Structures are given as C-alpha cells and as structure tokens.
C-alpha cells in the first residue's frame, strides 16, 4: 500500500510524491514524479525527505524555466 501527496510551492507549481508502507527491510520507500527516490526508517521521515528533495527539484526547474524566457 502507498499514499500519494501533492506538493504546491509558493509559485503555484504542483508535483507529487508517494510514500510506500514499510518493506521487508523495515524501511519506507519514497519517490517523486520528478524521478527522485529513496528510503527512510520511518513514515514521517520518508515524507520529510521526499518533500525536501521535491522542493529542491522544483526550485531548480523554476530557475531553469526563468533562464529560458
């Protein structure tokens, strides 16, 4: 089972991340729709890591988009 979340940044851009339930290694796998992924020892930490990576990825994409205008 997994749960998906939508993150909306200050600019109104949206992206999703998903946290999966504990695996056989007692880790929670997370992934973003930007292709990032990882694992964490707790569900809350997995959410935090996914959001942190997603925020950084969205900031890079936003800056990259602004540079091409």
**SS3 call for 22:** coil
What would the two tokens of residue 62 be?
């936003």
- Structural domains of the chain, count: 1
pTM of the model: 0.81
Q: Nearest to residue 9, comparing CAs of 51, 65, 69? A: 51
Q: Which domain holds residue 17?
A: 2-67
Residue 69's pLDDT is: 54
Residue 9's pLDDT is: 83
What would the two tokens of residue 69 be?
């205008």
Rounded average pLDDT per 10-residue block, the chain, 69 residues: 90 92 95 95 97 90 66
**SS3 call for 44:** helix
């Amino acid at each position: 089972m997994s749960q998906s979340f939508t993150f909306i940044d200050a600019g109104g851009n949206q992206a999703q991340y998903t946290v999966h339930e504990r695996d056989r290694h007692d880790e929670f796998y997370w992934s973003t729709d930007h292709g990032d992924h990882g694992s964490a020892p707790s569900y809350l930490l997995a959410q935090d890591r996914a959001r942190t990576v997603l925020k950084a990825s969205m900031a890079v994409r936003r800056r990259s988009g602004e540079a091409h205008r």
